[in-house]
Amino acid sequence: MTTSGFVKKEKVKSILISQPEPESAKSPYYDLAKKYKIKVDFRPFIHVEGIPGKDFRKSKITVTDFKAVIFNSRSSIDHFFRICEELRTRMPQDTKYFCVSEAVALYLQKYILYRKRKVFYGTGTETSLQSIMKKYKDTENFLFPCSSVHKEGLSTFMEKEGFVFEKAVLYKTVSSDLSDLKNLKYDVIVFFSPSGFVSLFENFPDFEQGDTRIATFGNSTAKAAEDAGLRLDIQAPIPESRSMTGALELYIKSVRK
């Protein structure tokens, strides 16, 4: 494993993003690569796997027993309706759906006739969704489809406020197989979740950081890097930039001086 300490700030010529390659050609990562003539590669270190319907049955949860369903991501929507299909279950038309953002709410159109359903959504934060949910605390029982590893904010809020709810673990985050990567000789490797570091050491147990710069997005990811004994060189969001690409550009500029 790597050790902390001073590392000469060499120019950045290559970056590995531990996420899938963007679908849009207008990604700011492509702009960054072109502007600074940097090699930018994408490789997801983690991926999501659904819990099979036969395993979900063991939870003894009947989804149609709940009149309100909470979605905090598109993945939760995909896996909820996948489970419904596997169990040959159809949600009643009067089911209420509570989504963390309008974008997540609109994604429901993939599975339901949106205009005929009761859909509520926040502005992108759990707090904004919580204020909407409070109005229905005494009249609805809630189902919260989620991953095996998830933020506890909503659950803690519902427990504190006395909601009738149940968590339904429908999918899990697992390490991707990176065995085809011969090495990780990149100037910068970018991580977006603590699970990325789990995958890193599962795939490369003898990984030595050396001169490789580690970039992280979010406080929990930064802490995971430090807990793993890695030297953290680039963090986002920061006051100067709220985005990962912005933080990367600031760093690239600083080592070019």
pLDDT tens track for 51-104: 999 999 999 999 999 999 999 999 999 999 999 999 999 999 999 999 999 999
Is the pTM above the cut of 0.85? Answer: no
**Domain match, 72 and 148 both:** yes
Note whether 80 and 140 are same-domain residues.
yes
First to last CA, the chain: 30
Residue 5 has a pLDDT of: 47
Same domain, 82 and 141: yes
Number of domains observed in the structure of the chain: 2
Q: CB of 232 within 8 A of CB of 222?
A: yes
Name the stretches of the chain with pLDDT < 70: 1-8, 116
* pLDDT per position as a tens digit, 155-165: 999 999 999 99
Within-domain flag for 224: yes
Is 5 domain-assigned? no
Domain-located, residue 1:
no
Question: What is the full DSSP assignment across 155-216?
Answer: HHHHHHHT-EEEEEEEEEEEE---TT------SEEEE-SHHHHHHHHHH-TT---TTPEEEE
Question: What's the domain range around 41?
Answer: 14-45+176-256
In a domain, 236, yes or no: yes
Nearest to 36 by CA among 187, 222, 184, 181: 187
The whole-number pLDDT of residue 7 equals: 55
Q: DSSP letter for 67, please.
A: S
Q: Per the domain annotation, does 3 fall within a domain? A: no
Residues present in the chain in total: 257
